[in-house]
Amino acid sequence: MDFRLSEDERIFRDNVAEFCRKVIAPKWIEIDEQGRIEPELLRRMGEMGLLGLTLSEEYGGQEGRFLEAAIAGEELAYHAPALSLAVLYLIECSWPYIVQRYGQEEAKSEVLPHICRGEAALGIASTEAHGGSNVAGVLLRAERRDDGKWVLSGEKSMVSLPTVIDSLPWGGGWFLISRSGDPALQHKTITCFVALMKRAGVRDERITYQPWTEFARRGLDTSVIRFNGVEVDDRYRVGEVNGGFKIAMEGFNLARSMIGAVCVGCARWLLEQGIEWMKNRRVFGKPIAAYQGINFKLADFWKELEAARLLCYKAAWVADRYYRERDPTVKLGDVAKISAAAKLKCAGLAVDIGEEVMKWFGGAAYFKETPIFRAWLAAFSYVVGAEGTENIMRYIIAREVLGREFVE
Ligand SMILES: Cc1cc2nc3c(=O)[nH]c(=O)nc-3n(C[C@H](O)[C@H](O)[C@H](O)COP(=O)(O)OP(=O)(O)OC[C@H]3O[C@@H](n4cnc5c(N)ncnc54)[C@H](O)[C@@H]3O)c2cc1C
């Protein structure tokens, strides 16, 4: 076993870090403060090959492995720790990949190249107001008409990206999880679509949204979205009719392994802020780094961060073995289990490190001028819910470890 990255991976990481240092790091606080990502920045990320990184060259992607995507995700988060750009990036590494895998050719060749160029974005629309954890319980209706088209009606809540999509020249929409039959049949009547709110620069006015006010990662808005009888051609259906649940779960798995890496980047930034501060802040005649009450905590967090990064790399590597190498010894359940573990571990760790570093900063941490809170609260989004709560991660791990006969 070799813990070093390969030469190619190191070069890739260094190039991404250099891009982030020059292009992204100078803007991260402004993005968070203004609650807006400039489309030009996404165009540059696209030019750099960061959007649609995991997609095939046929659609303008880089054919990147999930391990490379994790490496880049860590760098993006480290250089812009309020996470808006890193979150957008990881969404575009995950959900468009599922569309590429299960979607129909016409829709893929229409939408995916725009994502790779940063001209469009594809988010995930799953959560509904009655409870996001139970994806098999969604109620937004997809009704098939006699002419073969679908009509989408209903509401999703807490869905990220609408204003970003609205601002982009081509547009985009969401990987939409909808109900296409009897709700009592739960996961057996779920059908998924690429639901476009803006297509080729033209806005579908039957999709409306109402943004919530976020504490952090404010470059992305998270909104209630209404689908008011939205007509969708069958070519935008992803996967089989009533067969969408499993593929939606695959999308969450991929996103979660990337979330782990993004939270590692955020945690690394937070810890480095704390280290610089403790070396320079002198209280009672010494740097506070000299006090065991402080440096023992640092040692614990350093240890945890090393372990967290290895878990993320392993989660990405397992995904690569399943999706890229088609290794028959790796099962989908293995991808689900380790990606849930990566998200659970890394998001919680970033939050814990953030909270501790805030304490090292003393009273200064409480003011906006000290930007630690931006990273801490951004990571907190992944503890409370985004792409699944902590308990849902535990549920997935327990189910895969114990078997479905014990955990249904
Ligand atoms: C910043 C942010 C961005 C988001 N972006 C998106 C997005 O782009 N698209 C999207 O679809 N959603 C998005 N979400 C929503 C997110 O996916 C949901 O918050 C999440 O799935 C949890 O759903 P909920 O908030 O309705 O909580 P609930 O499902 O109501 O859960 C409430 C609590 O009950 C616990 N719980 C539920 N069931 C069980 C159980 N069986 N066992 C033990 N505990 C349980 C949960 O862990 C949680 O603590 C976003 C959320 C946030 C915070």
> What's the token pair of residue 133?
């954890």
* pLDDT tens digits, 10-65: 999 999 999 999 999 999 999 999 999 999 999 999 999 999 999 999 999 999 99
What percent of the chain clears pLDDT 90, i.e. is strictly above it? 98
Query: Could you read off the pLDDT of 335-370 as tens digits, one per residue?
Result: 999 999 999 999 999 999 999 999 999 999 999 999
Report whether pLDDT(408) > 90: no
Contact 233, 317 (CB under 8 A): no
Report the pLDDT averaged over residues 241-255: 98
According to the model, what pLDDT value does residue 385 have?
A: 87
Atom of ligand 1 nearest to the CA of 387: 17
Distance 342 CA to ligand 1 centre (A): 17
- How far apart, in whole angstroms, are the C-alpha atoms of residue 215 and residue 37? 16
pLDDT at 249 over 90: yes
Domain boundaries, the chain: 7-116, 120-242, 245-402
The confidence score (pLDDT) of residue 367 equals 96
- Please give the pLDDT value at position 2: 87
**60 and 46 Cβ atoms separated by less than 8 Å:** no
To the nearest whole number, what is the mean pLDDT of the chain? 97
Nearest to 256 by CA among 134, 386, 88, 109: 386
Q: Are strands 120-125 and 171-179 parallel, antiparallel or unpaired?
A: parallel
Architecture of domain 120-242: Beta Barrel (2.40)
DSSP 264: H
CATH 1.10.540.10 fits 7-116, yes or no: yes
What is the per-residue pLDDT for 1?
Answer: 84
Q: Which atom of ligand 1 is nearest to the CA of 384?
A: 53
Fold of 245-402: Butyryl-CoA Dehydrogenase, subunit A; domain 3 (1.20.140)
CB of residue 126 inside a 6 A radius of ligand 1: yes
